[in-house]
Amino acid sequence: MKLTAKLMDIGTREVLVNIEDARNIGVLNGDRVQILNEATGVGVAAFIDTTTTLLPRGTIGVYRLTNERLKITEGASVEVRKAERPAALDYIRKKMDGDHLSKEETYAIIQDVVDDNLSAAELTAYITACYINDMDMDEVEHLTRAMVDTGERLMFHSHPIVDKHSIGGVPGNKISLLVVPIIAASGLKIPKTSSRAITGAGGTADLMEVLAPVHFSAAEVQQMTEKVGGAIVWGGATNIAPADDKIIIQEYPFRIDARGQMIASVMAKKFAVGADLVVIDIPVGTHAKVRTIQEGRKLARDFIELGDRLRIQVECAITYGDSPVGRAIGPKLEVIEALRILEGAETPGSLFQKSVAIAGMALEMSGKAPRWKGAEMAGEIIRKGDALKKFRQIIEIQGGDPNVKSEDISPGKYQFVVNAPATGYVIELNNKSLISLARTAGAPHDKGAGILLHAKKGSRVEKGQPIFTIFAERSWRLQKAIEEGRQLMPVMVEGMLLDRVPQDTRWG
Amino acid sequence: MKLTAKLMDIGTREVLVNIEDARNIGVLNGDRVQILNEATGVGVAAFIDTTTTLLPRGTIGVYRLTNERLKITEGASVEVRKAERPAALDYIRKKMDGDHLSKEETYAIIQDVVDDNLSAAELTAYITACYINDMDMDEVEHLTRAMVDTGERLMFHSHPIVDKHSIGGVPGNKISLLVVPIIAASGLKIPKTSSRAITGAGGTADLMEVLAPVHFSAAEVQQMTEKVGGAIVWGGATNIAPADDKIIIQEYPFRIDARGQMIASVMAKKFAVGADLVVIDIPVGTHAKVRTIQEGRKLARDFIELGDRLRIQVECAITYGDSPVGRAIGPKLEVIEALRILEGAETPGSLFQKSVAIAGMALEMSGKAPRWKGAEMAGEIIRKGDALKKFRQIIEIQGGDPNVKSEDISPGKYQFVVNAPATGYVIELNNKSLISLARTAGAPHDKGAGILLHAKKGSRVEKGQPIFTIFAERSWRLQKAIEEGRQLMPVMVEGMLLDRVPQDTRWG
């Protein structure tokens, strides 16, 4: 059926048609249609919404995300018909039925994901099926390659290329801000694509954005890395492994992170940037994504096996994941903490030590440092000021101010200090509660929002001594965070439990 | 945040807000918000779409399905905030993880389904998890009861109440049009709620609609049944087990029909109409939903066990499902065929025999007929004209013309006769291809569209002799069906294969 396009600024992959026209096309709300831009010959699939009054018969409302692909002009003519059922749905059904998917089947699904040919519900069915009927290593390899091949890739002429990744879930894990400059300062190349927080208080991209723009194309990332040895950008803008981001969004409501999917997701990004040597940080702990060291080792073996298949040398670090890394949580607070270490501070020890350990592994793998001497070399690179110098080059090439100092950065001006309600030892820092609190305070959107811990696990505090400060950029957000903190109690002091019975849950 | 409502006639459960307002609420496209109608105190959840230009800040576009619940007036003020994450998502995750759901957890999910609190993707995750990690009988019972308790119920004062159900997938299975009048004519009550075709060429509701309206409330169904002993209505309008329809829509893209879900779906509708005696027709065959007699027997045992738990007496008929029932496929064609039998024809035998067999089982279960004498009694009820008389009462009470005769009904005027390309035996009637062809010709929406088979499986045809006719109400649909038929070859004559090598796939 021929319809006249009317552009509608609604941010989804749908089209709106009069219910009568929908009936004639033979579709209902939510069904898939194929739309042809008659001027260009470009065809795209989109999902149907219907109206009885908002649009007259003969017209079609083209929503913004649909038109990003269709590129139709207002009033132009489009041909609309009921879309064929994508073959990907049969493959998803196959996975539901417990069968293994072939390379071709996985590629068909991932191509449809990248093209937005699958509805959120259809993609969710794929994710759920892969979560329950976990993929074998062949399937993981196919998925990884499919995610790489449906996006951009970097192709460096000189090697080796280094990369690192931390499995998420641990607040304050800002080590990339230190590892990337150390590696680049050693003369190796490290084009680091990173994520924004979805459930966290700040992804590496959210942090780096405090210092410089992070939106770059894959080609720009390559150029910057060739010039200064490294970059820290938001992966979502590079179109590297774009299917992965779409998958992660759909996993979000269920808080799932299917093993095979996660391994493929991480390694696709490393493979696509052309990495030869990859260090993977696997934090383990009761409140981390990986609960036990055994589980961590198994995951490490899977990463290494997939690396072998892709000809990437992978080494994994099992790290302590039950407590934040450093004391700062939230973009600006974390950047201040990382910059201070580059400027010469060697505390917090948890941050300094972890960063040089991870960077050191890459230095050893590349042959820059002898075995067991990598961390020492990484520490030296910081102490000599080389890492700071390199970080400033990276900030500059990304368009930030290379003269930035830690004291130039101001966190949110609305602050609330939480004091110890009793004297005793800090017995628990709850990752999830700390993240939730930082998010309520505004992180990662409000860069100055977050939490600064004054006492870490195992340290002794006196009643009335500050245990943490909440920072916010807006006063109402601070109030909400204070209220939430009263319930969540993210930092537990030994004696504190006594104060909670029965009603008094104030912090003192 | 307070926003001013602007009603938008878009048929989904969403709201549209300016991207700046969305950021301030703390939500992205697809996130869930809670909206409070300040005038009435009614709160509903809806999903966010965003725009930069279509709506100014401070306003909220309320889509039609959202407003069916919110009932806000244009320009009124609503309070919008980020919604809490429904607990149902945790239960869905639990089912993904292979755990069993408690009664309370199942109820929470089904209540959210009925209230449209879950997105299509979230509901799909639930369905996929239940499909892969099949429910045990406790979970099936909880699901059944939850579906019943979240909808309307019929409460008859006199008993027994009879019901029947056929597992779908077999074209032409119009037996309810005969079984309901037979049972009602025997003095029993049978309030039959039935479905429209989703994937088929015509559900019982689509067929009955040729003769009378089928949209009634649960109370109306009860009144009509009390008066004339039976009714044949569309279940979707009754609000009986409304969760089930929403689940079935989401299963559609994957063509799945999870065992536990399907059993619960069937039995919830029977339980909700107050049925005491239920006959379930389980067609078995290579092209049917149930493939083997063993599988059919297992399914039958499950239905009977669930019936025991609900105090419903269930008997199952395993029937032949590899060929259409009767010769007609498509609403009007099927109604003509059924009416002819009520008017005195005893052919097609497959339809007559199956109808009296199923009706006979119910007559025996109720004690109206002695064991093994039910089918005979059912046949007598037809032959004496009692079933026709009863059917006319049912048509009349539903608002149709009680004097309707089979010859008054005209199928689609565009017709194409397909002749045998060779002499030989009809070796295959492919259910799926026949249904697909009938749908392409316009069924079930175009009531006159469909297929009439002239030769059934095993019968001998001469080259050039008609094997089936395609009917359509619109000439372009007939053309499309003819083209599709050339590919699908729904009726295979023995000698026909010879004609297909290598290119010539015409029907002759």
Q: Cβ(A53)–Cβ(B9) under 8 Å? A: yes
Q: Which residues contact A505 (CB under 8 A, 6 or more apart)?
A: A486, A487, A489, A499
Mutation site, B93, B124, B198, interface A, largest A CB count within 10 A? B124
Q: State the smallest CA–CA distance between residue B18 and chain A in angstroms.
A: 9
Cα–Cα distance between A463 and A455 in angstroms, integer? 12
pLDDT at B500: 35
B chain contacts of residue A119, beta-carbon cutoff 8 Å: 120-121, 253
B chain contacts of residue A123, beta-carbon cutoff 8 Å: 121
Rounded alpha-carbon distances, angstroms, from residue B387 to A143, B59, B184, B341: 60, 59, 8, 10
Predicted confidence (pLDDT) at residue A90 exceeds the cutoff of 70 = yes
Mean pLDDT (chain A, rounded): 91
pLDDT at B179: 97
B chain contacts of residue A133, beta-carbon cutoff 8 Å: 132
Q: To which residue do tokens 């042959």 refer?
A: A367
Q: Cβ(B414)–Cβ(B241) under 8 Å? A: no
Q: Which residues contact B332 (CB under 8 A, 6 or more apart)?
A: B210, B409, B410, B411, B412, B447, B448, B450
Q: Check CB contact under 8 Å for B128 and A123.
A: no
Q: Check CB contact under 8 Å for B120 and A125.
A: no
Mean pLDDT of A236-250: 91
Cα–Cα distance between A1 and A372 in angstroms, integer? 69
Q: Check CB contact under 8 Å for A12 and B49.
A: yes
To 5 degrees, how large is the angle CA A148–CA A149–CA A151?
70
DSSP conformation class of B98: T
Q: Check CB contact under 8 Å for A132 and B96.
A: yes
Predicted confidence (pLDDT) at residue A160 exceeds the cutoff of 50 = yes
| Torsions phi, psi for A47 (to 5 deg) | -105, 145
Tell me which residues of B are annotated as active site.
Answer: 257
pLDDT at A29: 84
* Nearest-by-CA chain A residue for B28: A11
pLDDT at A503: 40
Q: State the smallest CA–CA distance between residue A285 and chain B in angstroms.
A: 20
Mutation site, B1, B6, B9, interface A, largest A CB count within 10 A? B9
DSSP conformation class of A161: B
Q: Check CB contact under 8 Å for B54 and A9.
A: yes
Candidate from A26, A49, A133 with C-beta closest to B10: A49
Does residue B253 have a cis peptide bond before it, meaning omega lies within 30 degrees of 0? no
Cα–Cα distance between B46 and B39 in angstroms, integer? 18
Least confidently predicted of A324-328, A394-398, B285-289: B285-289
Q: Check CB contact under 8 Å for A10 and B49.
A: yes
Q: State the smallest CA–CA distance between residue A103 and chain B in angstroms.
A: 20
Q: Check CB contact under 8 Å for B122 and A124.
A: yes
Predicted confidence (pLDDT) at residue A496 exceeds the cutoff of 80 = no
pLDDT at B255: 81
Mutation site, A123, A124, A291, A480, interface B, largest B CB count within 10 A? A124
CATH number assigned to the domain with residue range A162-241+252-397, chosen from the 4 options 3.40.50.460, 3.40.1030.10, 3.90.1150.10, 3.20.20.20? 3.40.1030.10
> What does CATH list as the number for B162-240+247-406?
3.40.1030.10
Q: State the smallest CA–CA distance between residue B144 and chain A in angstroms.
A: 23
Q: Check CB contact under 8 Å for B124 and A124.
A: yes
pLDDT at A506: 40
Q: How many CB atoms lie within 10 A of CB B491?
A: 27
* Nearest-by-CA chain A residue for B89: A254
pLDDT tens-digit profile, chain B (508 residues): 999 999 999 988 899 999 999 988 888 888 899 999 988 989 999 999 999 989 999 999 999 989 999 999 999 999 999 998 899 999 999 999 999 999 999 999 999 999 989 999 999 999 999 999 999 999 999 999 999 999 999 999 999 999 999 997 788 889 999 999 999 999 999 999 998 887 788 899 999 999 999 999 999 999 999 999 999 999 989 999 999 989 988 888 888 888 899 999 999 999 999 999 999 999 988 878 898 889 999 999 999 999 999 999 999 999 988 888 999 999 999 999 999 999 998 888 889 999 999 999 999 999 999 999 999 999 999 999 999 999 999 999 999 999 999 999 999 999 999 988 778 888 778 888 899 999 999 999 899 999 999 987 778 888 889 989 999 999 999 999 999 888 777 777 765 443 333 343 343 3
Q: To which residue do tokens 């759920």 refer?
A: A128
To 5 degrees, how large is the angle CA A455–CA A457–CA A463?
50
Q: Which of A112, A245, A257, A302 is catalytic?
A: A257
pLDDT at B502: 37
Among chain A, residues having any CB pair with chain B shorter than 8 Å are 8-12, 16, 19, 23, 26, 29-30, 49-54, 64, 85, 89, 92-93, 96, 98, 119-125, 127-129, 131-133, 249-250, 253-256, 445
User: ipTM of this predicted complex?
Assistant: 0.85
Q: State the smallest CA–CA distance between residue A50 and chain B in angstroms.
A: 5
* Nearest-by-CA chain A residue for B92: A254
pLDDT at A254: 84
Ordered by start, the domain boundaries in chain A are 2-82, 87-133, 162-241+252-397, 414-500
Cα–Cα distance between A475 and A413 in angstroms, integer? 9
Q: What is the dihedral of CA B264, B266, B272, B273, to 10 degrees?
A: -170
* Nearest-by-CA chain B residue for A249: B30
Cα–Cα distance between B176 and B281 in angstroms, integer? 11
Q: Check CB contact under 8 Å for A26 and B125.
A: no
- Percent of chain A exceeding pLDDT 90 equals 72
pLDDT at B499: 35
CATH number assigned to the domain with residue range A414-500, chosen from the 4 options 3.90.1170.30, 3.40.1360.10, 3.30.1370.160, 3.20.20.70? 3.90.1170.30
pLDDT at B497: 44
* Nearest-by-CA chain B residue for A253: B89
pLDDT at A89: 95
Cβ-based contacts under 8 A for chains A and B: 118
Q: Which residues contact B193 (CB under 8 A, 6 or more apart)?
A: B221, B233, B234, B235, B238, B240, B269, B273
> What does CATH list as the number for B87-133?
1.20.970.10
Distance of CA B270 to the CA centre of its chain: 14
Q: State the smallest CA–CA distance between residue B382 and chain A in angstroms.
A: 38
Q: Check CB contact under 8 Å for B128 and A132.
A: yes
Mean pLDDT of A95-119: 95
Q: Cβ(B47)–Cβ(B32) under 8 Å? A: yes
CATH number assigned to the domain with residue range A2-82, chosen from the 4 options 2.60.40.1220, 1.20.1540.10, 3.30.360.10, 2.40.40.20? 2.40.40.20
Mean pLDDT of A215-230: 97
